[in-house]
């Protein structure tokens, strides 16, 4: 079973599998995903993978947000250490470009960054480099089984007022 099939099966348990879009082109970066979906990059809910205490954690943030080292350390008690390209799949269950907050490997904790809260709908990946899932924030929170909301990013929404979908 591919990672995307595993995610579809997982999301079916939340009645959300029909929200997965399989794209003809790559959606493995924020820019490519936004272009493929016809939305602003900020609406792409990117899933960033970090090592914390020997385990992987996933932070889902808005496409225009960047992790702030100081904020991350204040929340998690350690400096941020992104997983290396070669570590991502082994530790999360997803290849780089398809990491998502659904059906990750056992023990991987998911956190949602407050940079997402300005939107009604966001688009996380669906387990591969050419899938996306259109979800409301409550749906994302439930389906990701997020530990909690965190404030670990910077640079988002600073140039404009809170914006809604395209």
Q: Give the pLDDT confidence of 52-64 residue by residue, as tens digits.
A: 999 999 999 999 9
Q: State the CB neighbour count (10 A cutoff) for residue 7.
A: 29
DSSP 84: P
| 164 within domain boundaries | no
Q: Calculate ∠ Cα 84-68-46, nearest 5°.
A: 60
Question: What is the reported pTM?
Answer: 0.92
For the chain, the domain total comes to 1
**What does the pLDDT look like over 32-88, one tens digit per residue?**
999 999 999 999 999 999 999 999 999 999 999 999 999 999 999 999 999 999 999
Contact in structure between 129 and 28 (CB atoms under 8 Å): yes
- Per the structure, the complete domain to which residue 147 belongs is given by 3-154
The answer as to whether 160 is a domain residue is: no
Q: Is residue 161 in some structural domain? A: no
- Best CA proximity match to 150, nearest among 73, 84, 98: 73
Which CATH number fits the domain that encloses residue 85? Answer: 3.90.960.10
CB-CB contact of 42 with 157 (8 Å): yes
């Amino acid at each position: 079973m591919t990672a995307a099939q595993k995610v579809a099966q997982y999301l079916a348990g939340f009645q959300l599998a029909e929200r997965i879009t399989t794209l003809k082109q790559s959606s493995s970066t924020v820019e490519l995903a936004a272009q493929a979906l016809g939305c602003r990059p900020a609406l792409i809910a990117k899933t960033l993978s970090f090592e914390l205490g020997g385990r992987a954690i996933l932070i889902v943030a808005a496409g225009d947000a960047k992790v702030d080292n100081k904020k991350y350390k204040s929340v998690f008690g350690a400096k941020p250490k992104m997983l290396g390209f070669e570590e991502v799949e082994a530790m999360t269950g997803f290849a780089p470009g398809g990491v998502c907050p659904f059906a990750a490997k056992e023990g991987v904790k998911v956190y949602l960054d407050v940079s997402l809260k300005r939107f009604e709908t966001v688009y996380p990946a669906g387990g591969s480099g050419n899938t996306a899932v259109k979800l409301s924030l409550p749906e994302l929170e439930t389906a990701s089984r997020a530990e909690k909301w965190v404030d670990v990013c910077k640079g988002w929404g600073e140039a404009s007022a809170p914006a809604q979908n395209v």
